[in-house]
Chains A and B, each alone.
Chain A
């Protein structure tokens, strides 16, 4: 975080003035009206955990430790005049991707202001748009670290500095987000995609100036029977492309590009025991995608799903998702002389952006079951792409040893044919995992 951002955040964070509140708000905020001498205006929470990921050395049968780390997190929420502030910091120590790590991260740090119909959130924060499960084409603001090894899907999200504002005229909620600085997703490019004996050039990301900032808008309508939204994003794609300059250095590097995304989503439970949800987005880049290899083609991605839950605690989500790549052109089987590197670059970019085919069809399946009085949660996430034959499965079992201590075991399994993303990363990221987590 930049010094100026830090200063703004901490100035706002520690200005604490109490408001008159009802019982519900006081309880939710941790206040104790019976103890006037020590009226609590903050909440302190966190966790410590130990995580182990084990698998096999790529292309061998030798077992290896993929990751083993301990992590401590401290979360603090402070209530103050017209809002609150939230702060979460994590410290991780251990081994990841064969390297010793010892890192401190500021997971989130933001200020909320509630000003009548206006709500504002400023700071390092995470945005999760989209009503579909897991596959969210409208979600283009928060980058993802696809190399994060954690049983919790949310841990893949990387916060970035945003100014997020809402105007509420129930049942309509208008949202505007200003993204002053670009932050990229972490891509799994070092596993047979971009690895080279030569040092990789620095990524080509936009400078921090106003013209490189991004904006996003959403109009959300929440009716009792259903809800839907329309959204627009204009900014640099959080998932950059790959480029290279063969004259200077043939090694590929990440390069960001700007795009528009128009999207929408909906959900309803108007079908008795079935919930229905869907999401759609049209993405189109600013730059000429036929000229620049790192820029993806325009695409239309759509998700439609149903979900249900039984009284026994069993729930299931089933989704279809499809993608249509506009102006898709087949690559020649044998590249023309002199364009081998360019063709390889285009193939890599298509693989990372899931644009290897003009039309792709996938299903997502997530059954979950809460057993033993909700102390045991059994869940399995499965994603299969019928077109590319890529498969990801994540069975997971969590048991609450007591109210504060939980153990989770599971498996991440990627597979796919050669030339697909999952087929490339499978040996590197497929692993079994165990997490022991104590929350406070």
Chain B
């Protein structure tokens, strides 16, 4: 009898723990953040996006961007080429980035007015992306080891059950580089796609709130998603920026030629 009870208890513990593990609840906060970054890492993709910048008086400025990405080195390096399509005075400007999982990225900027490609210093990721409320840091996967992670709670965001993760830069330099002292991310439990994020500035005040309003499954085989519609509200200045991906294609075999300074200079 005692033996039978022991077997039943052991089986019960096994099933319960398996069940919890399957739901991801035994994942720690870092694992969840890692899964979240990896779930949006497509082998290759081409997009055309519209960036709408709305100031505190409701006036809009609209930019169009074409982007192509591809993963290299077993997914440890993402190469990305961005070309600005409009407005006319930035048309033809191109930005080529080699985004490494560890270490500083390599970035080259092609400005048609200079007729030259210039290597640019990449450490200042906190810089605004085209004058919007999004920063370059928001557009690139971070180095996971630069932050500490804490699972705060589980919350529902627009009907989606999410992990609430607190992400804190490990030191002031990393905070400066990324432009925030703390980030609270809401990551969906089922697909690990981020649905909402709160960014606290270096004075630890809530500065920006990002909301993902639409996602799309692009690589069903590997369960890879991309946010299609993102909004960033600046709580400090009343400005808002919206990135809407108008067209997107999963292109794992995108040409390597795109990720060269030679192609960057083709207007």
Contacts and interface: CB of A to CB of B under 8 A. Distances in A.
Interface of A: 22-24, 27-28, 30, 45, 47, 77, 86, 112, 114, 119, 126-128, 130-131, 152, 154, 157, 166, 168, 170, 173, 222, 224-227, 267-269, 272-275, 277, 307-313, 370, 373-375, 400, 402-404, 406, 439-440
Contacts of B248: 23
A24 B262 contact: no
Interface residues of B, number: 57
B262 A168 contact: yes
Given A166-B262, A275-B120, 10 more contacts: A23-B247, A24-B258, A27-B66, A128-B114, A152-B113, A154-B113, A222-B260, A269-B107, A373-B53, A403-B89
Interface string B107-137: 1000001111011111111111011100100
A28 B48 CA distance: 9
Give the interface SS of chain B, mostly helix, strand, loop or mixed: mixed
A225 B247 contact: no
Contact of A309 (B98, B121, B267): B121
Contacts of B121: 269, 272-275, 307-309
A77 B66 CA distance: 18
Contact of A313 (B86, B125, B128, B247): B128
Given A152-B113, A267-B118, A375-B131, A119 B124 contact: no
Contacts of A308: 121
19 contacts: A24-B68, A24-B83, A28-B66, A28-B266, A77-B267, A168-B262, A222-B260, A269-B107, A273-B121, A273-B123, A275-B120, A277-B119, A309-B124, A370-B131, A373-B128, A374-B130, A403-B86, A439-B88, A439-B89
Interface in B66-92: 66-68, 81, 83, 85-89, 91
B106 A225 contact: yes
A85 to B, nearest CB: 12
Contacts of B118: 131, 267
B20 interface: no
Contacts of A268: 119
A363 B174 CA distance: 33
A222 to B, nearest CB: 5
A3 B242 CA distance: 51
Interface string B90-102: 0100000010000
Contacts, number: 137
B250 to A, nearest CB: 10
Contacts of A152: 113
B169 interface: no
B119 A173 contact: no
B216 interface: no
Contacts of A307: 121
Contacts of B262: 119, 166, 168, 170, 173
Contacts of B46: 22-24, 27
Most chain A CB within 10 A, of B53, B114, B131, is at B131
Nearest to A154: B113
B170 interface: no
A28 B122 contact: no
Contacts of A313: 127-128
Most chain B CB within 10 A, of A22, A226, A311, is at A311
B39 interface: no
Given A28-B66, A154-B115, A267-B119, A374 B128 contact: yes
B176 interface: yes
A405 to B, nearest CB: 10
